[in-house]
Amino acid sequence: MRSIFKLYPWEWMVDEEFGDQLFASLEGGVQWIEPIWKMMWSNKALLAVLWELFPNHPNLLPAHFDAPKQLTSYARKPLFSREGANVTLVRDGRQIAETGGEYGDGRFLYQALAATTSWDGRYPVLGAWVIDGEAAGLGIRESDGPITGNLSRFVPHRIEG
């Protein structure tokens, strides 16, 4: 095979019985449509590492491994998870929301809770795409609760300049 497309998460694939053979496929010239390096960006550990490297940066929220440390309002997230699974939100020391899921067995990240606003009972989250320093698109996810999940609505936007 020269090209492979997959939907199964990389972090699951490398733990499978055939996981060690995946790396041989990379050296053998197989083109993965979703490359293995994307696994790095889906790991929430990156948030804590960025905070350690750039503390108090205006574009980052405080984030820590395994404990909230001084945070009293935070989101507890599994390092590897998807679609809002196994997330717990705590505001002023009180749990305000929690989701179940299949990702609750590993390590967790604790990230400062960002203020959210409900608009007509919907909680929007904005995702921006920037290419070479230029705005290229905007996606809006709306959920019925403060945790964005797999049933949250997606409203794409396109920016033309």
Q: State the pLDDT at residue 24.
A: 74
The helix (run of H) or strand (run of E) holding residue 141 is strand 134-143
**Contact (Cβ atoms closer than 8 angstroms) between residue 80 and residue 103:** yes
Q: Where are the domains of the chain?
A: 3-40, 43-112, 123-158
Per-residue tens of pLDDT for the chain, all 161 residues: 788 888 888 878 888 888 888 777 777 778 888 877 777 877 899 999 999 999 999 999 999 999 999 999 999 999 988 889 999 999 999 999 999 998 888 899 999 999 888 989 999 998 888 899 888 888 899 999 999 998 899 877 666 66
Q: State the pLDDT at residue 159.
A: 63
Q: State the pLDDT at residue 161.
A: 64
Q: State the pLDDT at residue 130.
A: 87
Token pair belonging to 33: 């449509």
